A and B are shown apart, each in its own frame.
Chain A
Amino acid sequence: MTDNASKAVFSQNSDPDTPDETGWRLSASQRQAVFGYALLLGPFLIYGYFMLIPLIRTAYFSLTSWNGVTAEKTFVGLDNFVRMAFDPLFWGALTNTAIWVIGGTIFELAIALLLAMLVWNRPRGFMIYRTIFFMPMVLPAVVVGVVWIWIYSPLFGILNRGLKTVGLESWALGWLGDPGIALYSVLAASIWAHVGLSFVIFVAALQNVDEELLDAAKIDGATAWERFYFVVVPQLSNAITLVAVLLLVHGLNGFDLIWVMTHGGPNDSTQILATYAYETAFVQNEAGYGSAIALVLAAIALFVSVATVNMRERTAAGQSS
């Protein structure tokens, strides 16, 4: 239906901005806008109720001293944020969060790309490899955590047993019990659990790589590494950016695996901001301080998300121009 036709059907007043006896009449474009906003209202109410209001309340709680149970909340202004600035556990958790997010993103991206390259030419058993690499993705974090606790167990774990069997006894460590390596041990489990999605994205992206360019580079004498770095990687840039954004955001959401495997221990060595906020609010019963930590985490997540999306759009704009 054309715009004029709709006017004919819905409006009998020749001047859409002039009120008739029933009041103001809207033009078609105005009605369309109202209809659009009406459609948005439902999702906005849901978003507001489940996202904005909790966020605003968290911001309010962060300005209070509250144990999370009593009705009484004492307003303390910015005291929780001042305390945070001098809290070594907070800075430790922030450092661990940076290691978790940046390290996790880099290693997972690299491993996924490596695996995808290995099956690029569709070797025999390609479907089996793809299934095996992707399978951990469908496992709940609790299952992944429990499986890796067993793998790392100093008593029954296959990792230490395997190392001892091949004569590497000195490499058999307390993977989750040594504060120096516990975070990396959990990170390894996390990478194992989530590498499948990145792998699948890269496998799909590799199908679009122009093999003629590779052949040309080969004829020009480029080494395997040069062909990969100067020919393949640029053609995967969109996929790499997408995977990097997904991994960064996912890394900032990290909580479940650490909580299942170490509860932030030993001696807070695997504490990231999310686990520290939870432990502070719900185990230490300091909901006010926990809210302040959660708010900082939310601000970091927001900043990283906006920055990466901007970077991606800028990259895309650069490519299209």
Chain B
Amino acid sequence: MNSIGISRRRLLKLSGAATAAGALGLGSQASYAQSASVKVWDQYSSEPMRSAFQKVLDRFGSDAGYNLIREVQLGASIKDIAATALSSGTGPDLLQYSVGQGNAGLLADANLIIPLDDYAAEYGWQDRLSSIALLEASLGGRIWGGPQESEVSMLFVNKTLFAQLGLDVPSTHEEMIAVAKEAKKAGVIALAYGQQDWFPSWWAASNIFGNAMGAKATADLTFNNVGSLNTPEVVDGLEKFCVELPEAGAFVDQVNSLPFGDAQALFQAGGALMLLTGTWSVGAIEETMTGVDVDIMPMWSFDGKPRAYPTGSGSAMYISAASEAKDETAALINFLYEVDMVKLMIEEASIIGPVEVDASTLNLSHLQMRSAQSVSTGDGDPAVTQSAFVHHGLGGSNLHKLLTGGFQAIFSGDTTAKELAADLQAAWEKDNS
């Protein structure tokens, strides 16, 4: 066996050299640390969003010369770790987090993030960003976050399947009831909707409230705490969606047992005429439903009232109060609003930014274009056709819990529309007391 001998003297020399090299390495690290280093926690965990956002970060890193450290977090777990990480000083400089008092509001209350009004003024966000996006990222009249994806909740419509069954796309509740009955006869589900997960009922509620109360009333309640969820209109809307539609056979038999992923898979497989979700599903729908004529539309009308898309921001970018690179982090947020970056995100990841871009300059598919239109104008007068996500804004954890549990209870026959509306209002008041 060959062996390499080494004397004690030689070992000491080598150790000295290694120590010196280590010291030099530390020195170079220290000098590098003096150039800005920004740690980013984002929630773009799946493709193609993940890669598209990486391109944006790479571009910023090379343009600005900053050292960007990206850590992708799952949306489901970030709420568990963000507050602890921020308060312990190990968190990111830039945090992508859900908007609203029940989410980012807690971080703001704990002084874990900083208000961005000064940066907003410096970069002119008030003029460049959509007003509803800024409103979504605001708390108590101050801008706390840089809004990210602009989105609406709506229905995907399989027009090919509608044509095959000889049915018209419904625009009123009565037409929807008729479609549900005909679809059931044909062995097809009218509306792919499952609420085993927490969030699908939140989207459903926002669609119901927007069409029942009207866009302005919904936004007034969501952002200004003006109005009530315990109204005859809301009771009627809940009755129509949660009682009359199941009776007409519009859904799968066990809505409470169906996870959202399975509902979406049902639609993608051609087993349902419509799917209740939002613009965030465009990428998945396009990828799997090639050759199928798919469109989007707002929820059908209740009693001839206007149909509105719940519109808002899924999340916003927040700056940690503990960050030592606040200016650089704000510059990164502002970079996300560069037109080229907004175009990159919408074209490659179907993420619609809060900045208006000329649609004619974009290379978009039909569904991406329809999504952009719905986000931009709501297919009409935005004052009428764009309502709010009621679980954003001032909606807190009590409302969130009841939007899930209450909807499950009414579908299982354990509560009524009238009781649910009263409970929802009580939860709202508890959140805002």
Contact = CB atoms under 8 A, between A and B. Distances in A.
A267 B361 CA distance: 48
Given A69-B109, A283-B397, A179 B258 contact: no
Given A177-B196, A267-B412, A284-B397, A155 B258 contact: yes
Contacts of A267: 405-406, 408-409, 412, 414
Top 10 A-B pairs ranked by shortest CB distance?
A174-B254, A177-B257, A177-B256, A266-B408, A154-B254, A174-B257, A70-B110, A267-B409, A69-B110, A266-B256
Nearest to B409: A267
B259 A71 contact: no
B240 interface: no
Contact of A283 (B110, B196, B401): B401
A265 interface: yes
A176 B257 contact: yes
17 contacts: A68-B83, A69-B87, A69-B106, A71-B110, A149-B259, A153-B259, A153-B262, A173-B254, A178-B254, A178-B412, A179-B256, A179-B414, A265-B404, A265-B408, A267-B409, A279-B401, A282-B80
Nearest to B405: A267
Given A268-B405, A284-B397, A284-B398, A178 B258 contact: no
Contacts of B271: 155
A285 interface: yes
B119 to A, nearest CB: 23
Contacts of A174: 253-254, 256-257
A48 B67 CA distance: 40
Interface in B385-433: 397-398, 400-401, 404-406, 408-409, 412, 414
Interface in B99-130: 102, 106-107, 109-112
A282 B404 CA distance: 16
B256 to A, nearest CB: 3
B266 interface: yes
Given A179-B409, A283-B401, 17 more contacts: A153-B262, A155-B252, A155-B271, A176-B256, A177-B412, A178-B412, A179-B408, A263-B198, A266-B412, A267-B405, A267-B406, A267-B408, A267-B409, A267-B414, A279-B401, A284-B401, A286-B397
Nearest to B259: A149
Nearest to A176: B257
B255 interface: yes
Contacts of B412: 177-179, 266-267
Interface in B255-271: 255-259, 262, 265-266, 271
B145 to A, nearest CB: 16
A54 B397 CA distance: 26
Interface of A: 67-71, 149, 152-156, 173-179, 262-263, 265-268, 279, 282-286
A283 B255 CA distance: 23
A265 B257 CA distance: 10
Nearest to A67: B106
B256 A178 contact: yes
Interface residues of B, number: 37
Label chain A's interface by main secondary structure. Answer: loop
Nearest to B106: A69
Contacts of A266: 196, 256, 405, 408-409, 412
B397 A155 contact: no
A286 B431 CA distance: 12
A285 B405 contact: no
B273 to A, nearest CB: 15
B257 A153 contact: yes
A177 B83 contact: no
A174 B196 CA distance: 11
Contacts of B111: 70
Q: Among the interface residues A179, A263, A279, which one has the most CB atoms of the partner chain B within 10 A? A: A179
B268 to A, nearest CB: 12
A173 B400 CA distance: 27
Contacts of A70: 106, 109-111
A177 B255 contact: yes
A154 B254 CA distance: 6
A68 B409 CA distance: 29
A267 B409 CA distance: 6
A67 B103 CA distance: 12
A176 B196 contact: yes
B257 A178 contact: yes
Nearest to B83: A69
Given A153-B257, A266-B408, A285 B397 contact: yes
Name the residue in A173, A177, A283, A284 with the highest tally of chain B Cβ atoms < 10 Å from its Cβ. A177
Contact of A156 (B80, B253, B262): B262
Nearest to A263: B198
Contacts of A153: 257-259, 262
A191 to B, nearest CB: 20
A155 B266 contact: yes
Most A C-beta atoms less than 10 A away, residue of B198, B254, B262, B398 = B254
A282 B262 CA distance: 27
A284 B412 CA distance: 24
Contacts of B80: 282
Given A68-B83, A267-B409, A177 B109 contact: no
A292 to B, nearest CB: 17
A17 to B, nearest CB: 49
Interface in B281-309: none
A312 to B, nearest CB: 37
A154 B259 CA distance: 10
Contacts of B106: 67, 69-70, 285
Contacts of A154: 252-254, 257-258
Interface in B161-198: 196-198
Interface in B195-219: 196-198
B8 to A, nearest CB: 34
A173 B257 CA distance: 9
Which of A154, A263, A266 has most B Cβ within 10 Å? A266
A264 to B, nearest CB: 9
Contacts of A179: 256, 408-409, 412, 414
Contacts of A149: 259
Contact of A177 (B110, B198, B254, B397): B254
B262 A155 contact: yes
